[in-house]
Amino acid sequence: MASTPAEKRLIIPLPGNEELARAIALDGNYRLGSLETRRFPDGESYIRLLDDVEGSDVDFICTLAQPDDQFLSLVFAADAARDLKARSVNLISPYLAYMRQDIRFKSGEAITSRSFSRLVSSTFDSLLTIDPHLHRYHSLAEIYNIPALALESAPVLANWVSRHIEQPLLIGPDEESEQWVSRIGEYCAAPFTVLRKTRFGDRNVEIHIGDLSEWKNKTPVLVDDIASSGRTMIEAAKQLQAQGFAKPVCLAVHGLFADDAYERLNAVAAKIITTDCVPHSSNNISVAGLIVQGIRQLAAKAKNAEKSVSC
């Protein structure tokens, strides 16, 4: 992400990302661009940039909740911007796909996180994302070879919790969630605990819950980075109710909600709240301001890199 004045930065949403793109452009005082997209009768994609990109830093906004459908258009748009002399071509993907397959769990499996990072790294100059699923990788730099910034949503989630929940008990449904739930706990000075999960299949998990009776008077708030099939949160919510807690508030950074996940989770939750990293009716927390800070951070880094090259 090279550095240019705000007015030279062009924010272009891929289809479905218009609302967040508008908020980012407004907040950062950037130009908002657009694409013309359609399918040819045989299913191939048509992509046309509708703005003059020459000399601009172009940020494509595309959350990757359906990566297989979205990625090819993204590559075509990025390549067009580069051909048309954009100064830099960047990807802002609030939800970064293909992070969970970070090892070969069974023999012969593709480690898709590595293949996907290679494709993104060869197409874009930088990547900005929010709370990527870093579990066995400790940072994006382990697999991305472009500047890749992972922003944390904990401050905005904590702000929502502080304003809406009295006496919260933050609960992470599995070991991986400790990283998010502990940070939110720090920001809003609330207690947190982490449950244990055993996964048997895509839609089959078991949650093991210890004795939480010391927090009986608190409001349970389940926090996870991703709600996909929803089974992790659903099983955790059931276990909490079995221990006499009220239905939990369910807070997810990335609400993917495959098939009927949202309806199933809704049946066991007091409410479901997500960020607008993935557009959904449960979005209540905006990440636009965070993203603008991230754009500035990457731009400052690029400026320093330019300086050190010219010295």
Q: Build a one-symbol-per-residue string for 147-176: x at contacts with ligand R5P by CB under 6 A, - elsewhere.
A: ---------------------------x-x
Minimum distance between the CB of residue 258 and ligand R5P, rounded to whole angstroms? 7
Decide: is 102 part of the binding site for ligand R5P (CB under 6 A): no
Decide: is 59 part of the binding site for ligand R5P (CB under 6 A): no
**Choice between 214 and 259, CB closer to ligand R5P:** 259
Q: How far apart are CA 46 and CA 53, in angstroms?
A: 18
**Choice between 54 and 202, CB closer to ligand R5P:** 202
Decide: is 228 part of the binding site for ligand R5P (CB under 6 A): yes
Tokens in use for 130?
């929010």
Minimum distance between the CB of residue 84 and ligand R5P, rounded to whole angstroms? 38
What's the sign of the alpha-carbon dihedral 62, 68, 72, 78? positive
Minimum distance between the CB of residue 234 and ligand R5P, rounded to whole angstroms? 8
| Rounded CA Rg of the chain | 20
Q: How many residues bind ligand R5P (CB under 6 A)?
A: 13
**Distance of CA 56 to CAs 36, 75, 82, 257, 289, Å?**
19, 18, 10, 36, 21
Sheet architecture: strand order including 168-172: 192-194, 168-172, 219-227, 249-255, 271-275, 283-285
Decide: is 239 part of the binding site for ligand R5P (CB under 6 A): no
Minimum distance between the CB of residue 300 and ligand R5P, rounded to whole angstroms? 31
**Choice between 75 and 150, CB closer to ligand R5P:** 150
Decide: is 223 part of the binding site for ligand R5P (CB under 6 A): no
Choosing from 232, 266, 274, 282, the residue that interacts with ligand R5P (CB under 6 A) is: 232
**Distance of CA 211 to CAs 22, 52, 190, 232, Å?**
46, 60, 18, 19
Interface residues toward ligand R5P, by CB under 6 A: 174, 176-177, 205, 224-232
